Amino acid sequence: MFMFTQPDPVLESTAGQHVEKEKNRFVKLLFKYNAVVLLIVMFIVATILSPYFLTPENMFNVLRQQSTFMLVGLGMLLVMLTGGIDLSVSSTVTVSSIMVCYCLKPLLMQNQSWGLLVSVILAIVIGFAFGCINGFFISVLNMPAFIVTLAMMYAGRGVAFIITDANTILLDQSVPANEVFVAFATGADPVLHLPYPTYVMIALIIVIGLVLHFTAFGRLITAVGSNETAVQLAGVNSKKYKFWAYAICGALCGVAGVILAARTGSGTALSTSVSYDMTSIAAVVIGGASLKGGEGNVPMTIVGVFVLAIIGNIMNLVGVGVYPQLVVKAVIIILAVLLKSISSKRVD
């Protein structure tokens, strides 16, 4: 029949239901932090599958490789918190990595004592400039982020090939400046034996984390993504925050580009085909962020980056081919996001 009884307030607070509620809370937490569970499970599986996995060499290798992905992931988190997306990160990273090498070699800065420092700064500035262009079109001119950053992706790729003339700029490591530069990425500190890029990564994680979770700037970036109209009507200049999200994302890509150039000792336009864009979006989403904005945080993004990193690492160790790896990654991404969508339905 078309009859539904009214909920009885007395029934609702019985002891049995209280236990049920506690249980629900646990399940809810599990769903909310599903990426952490995923990471732990994969860690255990990896340890069982390969004895080499937990060795310091392998761990440091993962850390070294992931520093670039982590920096791009942090930038992507900022952008996605505002409800946007940045498809141009791969191009930005590449242009920045080429910029370092171009300054050092064709521009001969490698022969100056200040050359390395200036090259690195210029590369980061280029990344920042890319971000500013994205931010300008998206926030000031109100254009869709998807389109603007897609266009910037092509522009960056083009610029990369133009500068390098489609060749690889290989740094001559007998020159002291270049030697120092490459040693920065390949070497490790004498005490803890951690790769230097890892320190850069940790420092930037801390800075972005503090900014996002403890300052008005971070608060308002999240608020803008949560509901831009409401934030505007509350008297907040939402455009400013959107602009800076893209600009900072660009600068972080710039830093990632410098690390990439140092690690390979070269700059090549072919790096544009490394999927920094999709990997970082996947990492941020696995970390619980929403494509609609307003959700996501730094710790969970770190988890997301390492979930993807460890899948790749373990499959390399047990000798799974590159192409099957892609399929496995796809399954993990779908799984993580599926859990999230199920859990948000439960909350509703």
List of residues contacting other proteins (CB under 8 A): 1-6, 214-217, 219-220, 222-223, 226-227, 229-237, 294-295
In angstroms, the Cα distances linking 74 to 4, 155, 280, 299, 305 are 49, 23, 8, 10, 10
Rounded Cα distance between 171 and 184, Å, is 14
Min dist. Cβ of residue 227 to other proteins (A): 5
Which string of DSSP letters, residue by residue, matches 279-301? HHHHHHHHTT--TTSS---HHHH
Q: What tokens appear for 161 in the block?
A: 């090939």
Nearer to other proteins (CB atom), residue 113 or residue 229: 229
Nearer to other proteins (CB atom), residue 146 or residue 214: 214
Nearer to other proteins (CB atom), residue 112 or residue 227: 227
Whether the CB-CB separation of 171 and 265 falls below 8 Å is answered with yes
Q: What b/e readout covers 189-198, taking b as 16+ CB neighbours within 10 angstroms?
A: eeeeebbbbb
Min dist. Cβ of residue 241 to other proteins (A): 11
Min dist. Cβ of residue 77 to other proteins (A): 17
Q: For residue 169, list its beta bridge partners.
A: 267
Rounded Cα distance between 330 and 90, Å, is 20
Tally the residues of the chain.
348
Q: Environment class of residue 202 by beta-carbon count within 10 Å: exposed (0-12), middle (13-18) or buried (19+)? A: middle
Min dist. Cβ of residue 346 to other proteins (A): 15
Q: For residue 267, list its beta bridge partners.
A: 169
In angstroms, the Cα distances linking 324 to 70, 204, 273, 343 are 24, 33, 19, 29
Q: For residue 195, list its beta bridge partners.
A: 188
Q: What tokens appear for 65 in the block?
A: 């490789």
Residue closest to 185 by CA, chosen among 200, 174, 172: 200
- Per DSSP, the three-state class of 319 is coil
Min dist. Cβ of residue 211 to other proteins (A): 8
Min dist. Cβ of residue 343 to other proteins (A): 14
Rounded Cα distance between 276 and 322, Å, is 16
Min dist. Cβ of residue 219 to other proteins (A): 6
Min dist. Cβ of residue 212 to other proteins (A): 11
Residue closest to 68 by CA, chosen among 213, 326, 332, 275: 275
Min dist. Cβ of residue 85 to other proteins (A): 19
- Per DSSP, the three-state class of 4 is coil
In the block, which residue shows the tokens 């993504």? 225
